Amino acid sequence: MKNRLLAVATAVASTALLLSACSKNDYNNNNGGNAKFSVYLTDAPANYDAVNVDIQDVQVNSTTDTSSGWQSLHILRPGVYNLLNFRNGIDTLLASYSIPAGKISQIRLILGTNNTVVVGGTSYPLQTPSAQQSGLKLNIQATLTAGVEYRLWIDFDANRSVVTTGNGGYILKPVIRSYTQAIGGSIKGIVLPPLITKGVFILQNSDTIASAIPDATGAFLVAGLNAGAYNVSVTGNGVLKDTLVANVTVTNGQVSTIGTITLHQ
């Protein structure tokens, strides 16, 4: 379910953004208290041949230091993106990176100088005076939970973001909204003795949905589970018996903790 949470008429958004969680990957507890944060780019239709935006980086900032707390999400492909390639539900992943869990206050797109708009087959420079110094900022208020992936979509309205000047030029004044999609939650726990189990298996209707191998301390975390009830099966080493924890409820965007599972003979 898509929750549309932000609409702005300038390059700076000024509303709170509640992030929901989703993931298709398994995370162990040795992730150091990190959450995975992914940013996608999409666009609304526009009456241009192309709107090319030079995106060089995506950064996040914590609430503790809005002046120097910027951290790069390491964009996968720095360079020019034609916004019109991502219309009607099509998107592209800009960046996906593990960052410390906790609060974040802003994200920003760092733009390069190679921004253009194509009108009637002719390419024109697309001026971005403010963005080239400090980036396109979105003010958000979100708390990231360790072991959970958060996905954010940045939706340019290219048609309203390109403004013509009196001398026939074009300026980029982004109109942006963002939204999230909540897909799953996580299950975590500890298996004792450590380094004894062959694996932890998440079962639903007797089918194995996901699995994990506990770390050296016995800790495990399985992320990317749809909301619902699951059985957690811990397989012993042949000497210690298998153990089943039944009816573990998973909620979207949350980590369900089942505590310590001790295997016995």
Of all residues in the chain, the percent with pLDDT exceeding 90 is 28
167 and 205 both lie in a single domain: no
Do 152 and 217 sit in the same domain of this protein?
A: no
- Between residues 132 and 208, the one the model is more confident about: 208
CA distance 10 to 7: 9
pLDDT at 258: 95
Q: Of 18 and 133, which is predicted with more confidence?
A: 133
Q: Give the pLDDT confidence score for residue 1 in this predicted structure.
A: 35
Residue 13: the pLDDT is: 35
Considering the domain architecture, whether residues 238 and 251 belong to the same structural domain is answered as yes
Given 153, 181, 209, which residue is the final one in a domain?
A: 181
Q: What is the pLDDT of residue 257?
A: 93
**pLDDT range class, residue 129, cuts 50, 70, 90:** low
What's the structural domain count of the chain? 2
Q: How would you class 150 by CB atoms within 10 Å of its CB: exposed for 0-12, middle for 13-18, buried for 19 or more? A: buried
Q: Which of 2-11, 181-190, 248-257 is predicted least confidently?
A: 2-11
Residue-wise pLDDT for 49-69, tens only, equals 999 999 999 998 875 544 557
Nearest-5° Cα angle at 23, 192 to 92: 155
- Residues 117 and 162 grouped into a single domain: yes
Amino acid letter, 263:
L
Mean pLDDT across 184-206: 87
Q: What per-residue confidence (pLDDT) applies to 156? A: 81
pLDDT of amino acid 252: 79
For 86-98, give one letter per residue: b (16+ CB within 10 A) or e.
Answer: beeeebeebbbbb
Residue 254 pLDDT: 82
Tokens for 12, please give them: 């700076």
Confidence band for 181, pLDDT divided at 50, 70 and 90: low
Average pLDDT over residues 20-40: 59
Domain identity same for 174 and 210: no
pTM of the predicted protein model: 0.65
Residues 6+ apart with CB under 8 A from 87: 42, 43, 44, 45
Work out the pLDDT band at 27, boundaries 50, 70, 90: very low
Give the pLDDT confidence score for residue 237 in this predicted structure.
81
Question: Stretch 117-134: mean pLDDT, rounded?
Answer: 81
The pLDDT of residue 21 is above 50? no
Tens of pLDDT, residue by residue over 132-173, are: 557 888 877 777 877 777 888 888 878 788 888 888 899 988
Query: Which domain-ending residue is among 181, 204, 236?
Result: 181
Same structural domain, 174 and 217: no
Which of these three, 134, 151, 181, is where a domain ends?
A: 181
Whether residue 97 sits in one domain with residue 55: yes
Segment 206-234 mean pLDDT: 87
Question: Are 123 and 71 within one domain?
Answer: yes
Burial class (CB in 10 A: 0-12, 13-18, 19+), 136: buried
CB-CB contact of 16 with 8 (8 Å):
no
* Whether 29 and 135 share a structural domain: yes
Q: Do residues 41 and 136 both lie within one domain?
A: yes
Contact yes or no for 160/83 (Cβ under 8 A): no
79 pairs with which residues across the strands?
A: 55
- 219 and 94 in a single domain? The answer is no
- Domain limits at 35? 2-181
Q: What is the largest CA-CA distance in the chain?
A: 83
Are 49 and 170 contained in the same domain?
yes
CATH, residue 245: 2.60.40.10
pLDDT, position 54: 93
Q: Which range among 7-11, 25-29, 149-153, 171-175 shows the weakest confidence by mean pLDDT?
A: 7-11
